[in-house]
Structure 1
Amino acid sequence: MTHTPTTGSPAPATATSALPLDRRSLAPDLARGVMLLFIALAHAHIFTVLIGGGEAVQSTADRIATAGNVMFVELRAYPMFAALFGYGLAQIYRRRTEQGHEWPWVRSLLRRRSRWLIVFGVVHAALLFFGDILAVYGLLALVFVGVLRFRDRTLVILTVIWLPLGATLQALVAAEQATTGQSVFPPMGDGLMDELVIRLTIYAMILPVMVISTVVPFLVGILAARHRVLEEPRQHLKLLRGAAFVGLPLGVLGGLPLALIKAETWPGHSPLDAMIAGGLHQVTGYAAGFGYAALIALIAVRLSDRRGPVTNALEALGQRSLTFYLAQSVAWAVLFASYTLHFQLTSPALAVGIAVAVWLTTVVLADLMRRRNTRGPAEVALRRLTYRS
Structure 2
Amino acid sequence: MSAAPTTERLIGIDALRGVAVLGILMMNVQAFAMVPGAYDYPVAHMDMSGLNAGVWAIGHTFFSMKFITIFSALFGAGIMLMVGESTDTRLHYRRMWWLFAIGMLHAYLLWYGDILVPYALFGMLAVKARFWSTGKLIIWGLALITLTGVLVIGLFHAVLAMKGFDPMILGVSEEIVAASVAANQAGYLTQLPDNALTAAGAQFASLLVFGGRILGVMLIGMALFKNGFLSARLKSPTYFAIGVPSLFFGLALSAWSSEHALASGFALDTAWQTGLSNYVGSLLAALGYAAGIMLICKSGWVSWLVQVFAATGRMAFTNYLTQTLIMTFIFVGAPGLGLFGTVERVDQAKLVLLVWALQLIWSPLWLSRFRFGPFEWAWRSLSYGRLQPMLRERS
What TM-score, normalized by structure 1, do the two folds share? 0.84
Which of 336, 342, 356 aligns to 2:338? It is 342
- Corresponding residue SS for 2:242: helix
TM-aligned CA distance change 1:282 to 1:170, over 3 Å: farther
1:258 equivalent in alignment to 2:254:
no
In structure 2, C-alpha distance between the alignment counterparts of 1:161 and 1:172, rounded to whole Å = 16
Correspondence 1:39 to 2:29:
no
Task: Report if aligned partners of 1:129, 1:329 keep a CA contact under 8 Å in 2.
Answer: yes
* Paired amino acid for 1:365: W
Q: Which moved more, 1:181-190 or 1:362-371?
A: 181-190
Query: Is residue 111–residue 145 contact of structure 1 (8 Å, CA) maintained in 2?
Result: no
CA deviation string 1:290-314 (max 9, x = no partner): 221111111111227x622x33222
SS in 1 for 2:321: helix
Shift of 1:277: 1.7
Q: Deviations over 1:334-355 (max 9, x none)?
A: 1001231011444111111111
2:376 is matched with which residue?
Answer: 379
Q: Determine the structure 1 residue equivalent to 2:221.
A: 221
- Cα 1:369–1:349 change in 2 (3 A) is same
Residue 121 of structure 2 corresponds to residue 139 of structure 1 = yes
Q: 1:319 aligns with which of 302, 314, 334?
A: 314
Structure 1 CA distance for aligned equivalents of residues 263 and 34 of structure 2: 18
Contact 1:320 1:376 in 2 (8 A): yes
Give 2:68's match in structure 1, choosing from 74, 78, 82: 78
Q: How much has 1:332 moved relative to structure 2?
A: 0.7
Higher mean C-alpha deviation, range 362-371 or range 76-85: 362-371
Q: Answer yes or no: is the 8 Å Cα contact 2:100–2:117 preserved in 1.
A: yes
8 Å CA contact retained: 2:76, 2:126: no
Provide the C-alpha distance between the structure 1 equivalents of 2:316 and 2:282, rounded to a whole number of angstroms.
21
Q: How many residues align?
A: 361
RMSD, aligned CA: 2.7
- Return the offset for 1:244: 1.7
Query: Following the alignment from structure 2 to structure 1, what is the Cα–Cα distance between the partners of residues 62 and 384?
Result: 38
SS at match of 1:179: coil
* 1:169 positional shift: 4.9
Residues 162-205 of structure 1 show CA distances to partners (whole Å, capped at 9, x for unaligned) of 12233235546876799223555763634333422222222221
Letter aligned with residue 265 of structure 1 = A
Inter-partner Cα distance in structure 2 for 1:155 and 1:124: 31
- Counterpart CA distance in 2 for 1:52 and 1:284 is 22
Matches of 1:303 and 1:373 in 2, distance apart?
26
Task: Tell me the distance in 1 between the aligned counterparts of 2:145 and 2:37.
Answer: 33
Q: Determine if contact 1:247/1:290 at 8 Å carries over to the other structure.
A: yes
Q: Which amino acid aligns with 2:310?
A: E
CA shift for structure 1 position 36: 2.2
- State the SS of the aligned residue for 1:231: coil
Partners of 1:145 and 1:372 in 2: CA distance: 33
Q: CA offsets, 1:127-147, max 9 Å, x none?
A: 222111111110111123211
Which residue number corresponds to residue 195 of structure 1? 191
Work out the CA distance in 1 between the residues paired with 2:192 and 2:154: 27
1:278 to 255, 267, 275: 275
Give the deviation of 1:241 after TM superposition: 2.1
Give deviations 1:255-302, integer Å, cap 9, x for gaps. Answer: 23432355x3325x7544211221221122122122211111111112
Inter-CA distance 292–58: structure 2 relative to 1 (3 Å threshold):
same
Gaps of 5+ in 2: 39-43, 387-395
Evaluate the alpha carbon distance shift between residue 279 and residue 319 of structure 1 in structure 2; reply closer, same or farther with a 3 A threshold: same
CA distance, structure 1, for counterparts of residue 349 and residue 385 of structure 2: 41
Amino acid paired to 1:226 = K
Is residue 288 of structure 2 the alignment partner of residue 291 of structure 1?
yes
**Are residues 52 and 159 of structure 1, via their aligned partners in 2, closer, same or farther at CA, if it must alter by over 3 Å?**
closer
**Corresponding residue number in structure 2 for 1:248:** 247
Percent identity over the alignment is 22
CA contact (8 A) 2:104 2:117 kept: yes
Distance 2:156 2:339 in 1: 28
Q: 1:168 to 1:347 in 2, by over 3 A?
A: farther
Counterparts of 2:154 and 2:352, CA distance in 1: 29
5 Å matches for 1:22-61? 23-50=8-35, 54-61=44-51
Aligned to 1:15: none
Q: Which moved more, 1:176-185 or 1:77-86?
A: 176-185
CA contact (8 A) 1:52 1:346 kept: no
Moved more, 167-176 or 129-138: 167-176
* Aligned residue number for residue 110 of structure 2: 128
Stretch of structure 1 that moved more, 161-170 or 120-129? 161-170
* Distance in structure 1 (CA, Å) of the matches to 2:280 and 2:152: 9
Tell me the residue number matched to 2:303: 307
Query: In structure 2, the residue corresponding to 1:149 is in which secondary structure?
Result: coil
Cα distance, 1:280–1:382 mapped onto 2, change above 3 Å: same
